[in-house]
Amino acid sequence: GDSVTQTEGPVTVSESESLIINCTYSATSIAYPNLFWYVRYPGEGLQLLLKVITAGQKGSSRGFEATYNKETTSFHLQKASVQESDSAVYYCALGEGAGNTGKLIFGLGTTLQVQP
Amino acid sequence: GGIITQTPKFLIGQEGQKLTLKCQQNFNHDTMYWYRQDSGKGLRLIYYSITENDLQKGDLSEGYDASREKKSSFSLTVTSAQKNEMAVFLCASSIRDWGYAEQFFGPGTRLTVL
């Protein structure tokens, strides 16, 4: 079936360190998957961080980057230097590309704690 | 910009009770969604609606009813609350039901069943 697996949290890093949160997906019933990273900051609602709809492309936002790798079925989230304000829960999600359902399949979420 | 409002913020019910959650959006989006999130689990789709009066079942629709009375509102009913059930219900909307469309989420309704 279709699924998303991501780094199990919590992940704790110190400010200015680099970060990678792994995300791999299985899209057996989706011909053209779209990939997303959503984030929930403390006290806020879930919001889109970045998305990539074409294999081989990279998305970026707020210093985060993720590359859609069709060969390894991965969409890892990276940041070169984290800040305390990046502390949040990050969700990788898989959506249907050419399909018209808008349905998203989410990973379990990864809690990131950035220490000052 | 726009906003999604969910009411109530907290919902406490009794076993077997029918409970209704409401969602309003002012984005003028066509498509709305209801997700359920259990502790330590990802979001799972319960129902979605492509347009007014449309309903589509998600993976977790059993035990729920939904209603899209108008474009801006989408209600979810728990038909019979299960004892000790605890979950957060998230409403979302997107401009269309395209697979690449960004979904905008509400703050959630936290359900506790005694």
Q: How far is A110 from chain B (nearest CA, A)?
A: 10
Show residues of chain B in contact with A99, CB under 8 Å: 99
For residue A1, what pLDDT is reported? 82
User: If phi over 0 gives left and psi between -120 and 50 gives alpha, with beta otherwise, what is residue B28?
Assistant: left
The mean per-residue pLDDT over the stretch B56-79 comes to 95
The pLDDT tens digits of the residues spanning A86-108 come to 999 999 999 876 556 678 899 99
**Residues of chain B found within 8 Å of residue A98, distances taken between Cβ atoms:** 99
Would an 8 Å CB–CB cutoff place B105 in contact with chain A? yes
How many A×B Cβ pairs under 8 Å?
64
B99 contact A CB<8A: yes
Contact state of A102 with B108 under an 8 Å Cβ cutoff? no
Asked whether the beta carbons of B13 and B111 are under 8 A apart, the reply is yes
Chain A contacts of B9, Cβ < 8 Å? none
A113 shares contact with chain B (CB less than 8 Å): no
Of B58, B90, B96, the CB nearest to A46: B90
Nearest to A55 by CA among A41, A35, A82, A85: A35
Residue B99 has pLDDT above 80, yes or no: no
Q: What percentage of chain B exceeds 70 in pLDDT?
A: 99
Q: What is the pLDDT of residue B101?
A: 84
Q: What is the pLDDT of residue A31?
A: 78
Interatomic CA distance for residues A23 and A75, integer angstroms: 5
> What integer is the mean pLDDT of B82-96?
92
**Residue in chain B nearest A107 by alpha carbon:** B42
Choose the closest CB to B99 out of A45, A48, A96: A96
Question: A24-58 as b/e, with b when 16 or more CB fall inside 10 Å?
Answer: bbebeebeebbbbbbbbeeeebbebbbbbbeeeee
Residue B17 has pLDDT above 80, yes or no: yes
Return the biggest CA–CA distance within chain B.
39
Q: Do A108 and B42 touch (CB under 8 A)?
A: yes
pLDDT value at B90 more than 90: yes
Please report the pLDDT score of residue A99 as a whole number: 58
Q: Is B4 on the interface with A (CB under 8 A)?
A: yes
